[in-house]
Amino acid sequence: MLFVLLMFSPSTPIKTLPALFRHGLVSAAMHEIRAPEGSAGHVAFAVFFLAKFPTSRPVLWVSPQPLAYPPGLAWAGLDTARCIFAQAKDDHQSLGALEVALRGGMAGVAECEKLSRLAARRLALAAKTGGGIGFVLRHAPAFTALDSTAFATRWMIQPAPGGQIRAELLYAKNAQPGVFMLALKGGEDEPAPVLIDLPAARRAG
């Protein structure tokens, strides 16, 4: 299976990898990844970057209603021996566990439905203190009244025609918002996914 970077907008085409790391996906910071209700593209997006991120930190994955499938995570390249999977009773417990893990130097993922500005600030501080990368995964609209600027990036991941994935960078502290179109190619017997750019990326319209 292969993730292919097709295009980026609105800035100039991406020339080198890892492209998305240069557009705000940094460590010692928090990142929010959203998806429409009923889809799980935000989970795949987080898994890919946890698998490719240059660190051996242990990973806490916590959720009231887990969407992660450990064999699938392993196939995508994430070493599940690094992972601790936990089920929380609610969003508050899920986000609290992530905060503790990040403050202690782990990487982490929390699935939740609601995220307050206070919780976002606490998580961002915990990631900065511990030096690890953290992700909050939510089913939510692209923009809400409680959106926070405490996180390094905010993404919306949606399915697109032709088997593509539309990854929109809604907000970033150190990068320009834009749209990445990712195509999924290959079969289940292929090696772990790889993200590449095309030599002549087109601008997304």
Please state, as a whole number, how many other Cβ atoms lie within 10 Å of the Cβ of residue 82. Answer: 16
| Peptide bond connecting 13 to the previous residue in cis, omega within 30 degrees of 0 | no
Strand partners, 61: 85, 109
Greater confidence (30 vs 14) lies with 30
pLDDT tier at 16 (50, 70, 90 boundaries)?
Answer: very low
Q: Which domains does the chain have, with CATH numbers?
A: 2-197 (3.40.50.300)
- Integer Cα distance of 181 and 7 in angstroms: 6
pLDDT tier at 6 (50, 70, 90 boundaries)?
Answer: very low
Judge if pTM exceeds 0.85.
no
Residue 132 in contact with residue 28, Cβ under 8 Å?
A: yes
Is a pLDDT exceeding 90 seen at residue 62? yes
If you write DSSP's letter for every residue of 132-197 in order, what string do you get?
-EEEEEEE--S--TT--SSSSEEEEEEEEGGGEEEEEEEEESSS--EEEEEEEES-TTS-S--EEE
**How many contiguous H segments (helices) and E segments (strands) does the chain have?**
4, 10
Query: What would the pLDDT profile of 116-172 be if each residue is shown by its tens digit?
Result: 999 999 999 999 999 999 999 999 999 999 999 999 999 999 988 877 778 888 998
Q: How far is CA 73 from CA 78, 103, 191, in A?
A: 5, 24, 13
Give me the sign of the Cα torsion angle 41, 45, 47, 51. Answer: positive
What's the distance, Cα to Cα, between the start and end of the chain in Å? 26
Contacts of 142 (CB under 8 A, 6+ apart): 34, 156, 168, 170
Please state, as a whole number, how many other Cβ atoms lie within 10 Å of the Cβ of residue 160. Answer: 15
Structure tokens at 125: 């501080």
Query: What would the pLDDT profile of 156-178 be if each residue is shown by its tens digit?
Result: 999 888 777 788 889 988 777 88
pLDDT recorded at residue 7 = 35
CB-side neighbour CA atoms (13 Å) of 202: 5
Structure tokens at 123: 């998580």
